Amino acid sequence: MKRLLVFILCCSFSFQLSAQTTVAPEWTKKVGARSFPSAKTIYYVNSYGAVSDTTTVNTKAIQSAIDACAAKGGGIVAFKPGTYVTGAIFLKNNVHLRIDKGVLILGSQNFDDYPDMDTRIAGLEMKWPAALINAVNVKNVAVTGEGVINARGKFCWDKYWAMRKDYDTKGLRWIVDYDAKRVRTLLVQNSTDVSVKGLTFKNAGFWTVQLLYSSYLTVDGVVIKNNEDGSGPSTDGIDVDSSSWVLIQNCDIDCNDDNFCLKAGRDWDGLRVNRPTEYVVIRKSIARRGAGLVTLGSETSGSIRHIYCTDLYAKHTDNGLRIKSATTRGGVVEDVYFVNSVLDSVRNAYQFNLNWYPAYSYSELPKGYTMETVPAHWKSMLQKVTPAEKGIPSARNFVIQNVKITNAQKAFEINGLPASLLQNFQFINSIITANTLGTMEYTKGWKFINTSIDVSTKPVEKKKEPAGIEEEERLKG
């Protein structure tokens, strides 16, 4: 059914909030880290030369404490109360990095303190600066505490906006995010049984927490505040990137892009890697400012599936549940539960767009450049998906139940594709109150059961072009 709007307008819905709750799939009991570092010996970074002030860069001292701890089979690396500046540090097997109350970690503002490494960023494998804290190729590690990690990311934001101004004039919007090489705050990559608990993260230079190519991970009780030093572009909260068996709970995120985001690779490179994000639980968490309470995409190439989101709350977040992809991306987004949640004063209750943000999503080499002279990651971005049909994404089989949405600007901003209908979305025992109903096209098998949709004005007319929100432009304005 191309225009489900007609169906909604012609039918009335009764609504009574049901006490019934969705039965969680059996696999949800198996997510999260299966082990935690057990050794109790404490290695204080101060004993290895770390100095508490706001100028000394303590990277070597902190890394020495981590290395010594790992050499003895593991234990706890901790800090005496104070303020410590550091660049990129790397955890090792069985190490518990503990940042206690009264400890403030400040990220170095010198790009040289974050050496390039092999990683994936925004769906593309390439060389990119290491994060402030890195758990790469490790097992059984933890980063916990009641302390604060302030990445001081404005030096990254300023670099991006300067480059963006130049790149836009050259028709290079599609590559500037990759060339800017901003610093993430915490990276888990190619690792298993990793726990991140209790910390407060501030002012990320780019994404705050990225969980990449990893499994059996727990992120619990994390607070993210990325607005204290201004509005940094692309400061996602938590990104689950081609990872599995992940538990995220009790988190509170205030950021300037997607709050909780699930990713699985981009375009030709993402289809080459072909690693899904799957078996993810997100529960008992809050999204404040940000682009999406739960966002699926835009990197969907390896597919995103078996996702269970429950007991979530959003306040002044741009979008509630969000899907974004593009016609070169491919992959399937499916078996998603979004249940038992409350959203207040969001821009769009539901925004699903399979042709999202064309200026960013589609790569084209402007005149004056040749493939022989551009960097390797440009070539990956420019590599065409063949056959073209392989790049068509799809989304299907969603259960949206016991969700109450009030004071939304728009209920639906829904754009499937003629070649890929958004299929089998069920809205059960839910309520949406919004200023406008919005638009909906290229859908099939949508059901509204005991669901109320109350709009205060007439529906907006369908746009000629699919909708796409550009977060960076919003921030810039």
Residue 318 has pLDDT above 70, yes or no: yes
98: in domain: yes
- What average pLDDT does this structure show over 157-175? 97
pLDDT in the model for residue 230: 72
pLDDT over 70 (residue 260): yes
Check residue 468 and give its pLDDT: 33
Tell me whether residue 220 is in a domain.
Answer: yes
pLDDT for 229: 73
CA 353 to chain centre: 17
- Compute CA distances 436 → 15, 211, 291, 324, 337, whole Å: 19, 36, 19, 21, 25
- Residue 123 inside a domain? The answer is yes
Per-residue pLDDT tens over the stretch 124-133: 999 999 999 9
Asked if the structure places residue 436 within a domain, the reply is yes
CA quadruple 105, 111, 115, 121: dihedral, nearest 10: 90
Q: How much is the average pLDDT of 315-324?
A: 98
* Domain assignment of residue 60, yes or no: no
23: domain CATH number? 2.160.20.10
What is the dihedral sign for C-alpha 280, 283, 288, 293?
positive
Buried/exposed code over 104-122 (b: 16+ C-beta within 10 A; e: otherwise): bbbbbbebebbeebebbbb
66 located within any domain:
no
Kindly give, in sequence order, each residue whose CB lies less than 8 Å from that of residue 40, ignoring residues fewer than 6 positions away. 75, 76
Give the chain's end-to-end CA distance (angstroms, integer): 37
- Of 248, 344, 339, 354, the closest CA to residue 289 belongs to 344
Q: Average pLDDT of the chain?
A: 92
Q: What is the pLDDT of residue 23?
A: 87
pLDDT bracket for residue 460 (50, 70, 90): very low
For the range 19-23, what are the long-range contacts, defined as Cβ-Cβ under 8 Å and sequence gap of 24 or more?
20/402, 20/429, 21/339, 21/340, 21/402, 22/310, 22/337, 22/339, 22/340, 22/399, 22/401, 22/402
Domain range spanning residue 171?
Answer: 4-41+79-476
Say whether pLDDT at 247 is over 60: yes
Report pLDDT for 457: 64
User: Would you say residue 197 has pLDDT above 50?
Assistant: yes
Q: Rounded to an integer, what distance in angstroms lies between the CA atom of residue 359 and that of residue 177? A: 12
Query: Secondary structure of the chain in the HEC alphabet?
Result: CCCHHHHHHHCCCCCCCCCCCCCCCHHHHHCCCCCCCCCCCEEEHHHHCCCCCCCCECHHHHHHHHHHHHHCCCEEEECCCEEEEECCEECCCCEEEECCCCEEEEECCCHHHCCEEEEEECCEEEEEECCCEEEECCEEEEEECCCEEECCCHHHHHHHHHHHHHHHHCCCHHHHHHHHCCCCCEEEECCEEEEEECCEEECCCCCCEEEECCEEEEEECCEEECCCCCCCCCCCCEEEECCEEEEEECCEEECCCEEEEEECCCHHHHHHHCCCEEEEEEEEEEECCCCEEEEEECCCCCCEEEEEEEEEEEECCCEEEEEECCCCCCCEEEEEEEEEEEEECCCEEEEEECCCCHHHHCCCCCCCCCCCCCCHHHHHHHCCCCCHHHHCCEEEEEEEEEEEEEEEEEEEEEECECCECEEEEEEECCEEEEEEEEEEECEECCEEECCEEEECCCCCCCCCCCCCCCHHHHHHC
How would you class 284 by CB atoms within 10 Å of its CB: exposed for 0-12, middle for 13-18, buried for 19 or more? middle
Confidence of residue 80 (pLDDT cuts 50, 70, 90): very high
Q: Is residue 408 part of a domain?
A: yes
Mean pLDDT of 41-65: 98
Flag whether 434 is in a domain. yes
Quickly state the pLDDT bin for 291 (edges 50, 70, 90): very high
Q: Which of 137, 115, 136, 116 is nearest to 126 (CA)?
A: 116
pLDDT tens digits for 9-38? 323 233 334 445 678 999 999 999 999 999
Query: In the structure, what pLDDT confidence band is assigned to residue 228 with cuts at 50, 70 and 90?
Result: confident
Query: pLDDT band at residue 214, thresholds of 50, 70 and 90?
Result: very high
Which pLDDT tens digit goes with each residue over 330-356?
A: 999 999 999 999 999 999 999 999 999
Give the largest Cα separation in the chain, rounded.
72
**Residue that is written with structure tokens 């990119």 in the block:** 128
The mean pLDDT of 81-91, rounded to a whole number, is 98
Question: What confidence score (pLDDT) does residue 20 get?
Answer: 55
Contact 41, 62 (CB under 8 A): no
| Structural domains in the chain (count) | 1
Q: What does the pLDDT read at residue 456?
A: 83
Name which of 65, 59, 92 is nearest 77 in CA terms.
65
Query: Rounded distance, CA 134 to CA 122, Å?
Result: 17
Percent of the chain with pLDDT over 70: 91
Residue 9, pLDDT score: 32
Q: How confident is the model at residue 461 (pLDDT cuts 50, 70, 90)?
A: very low
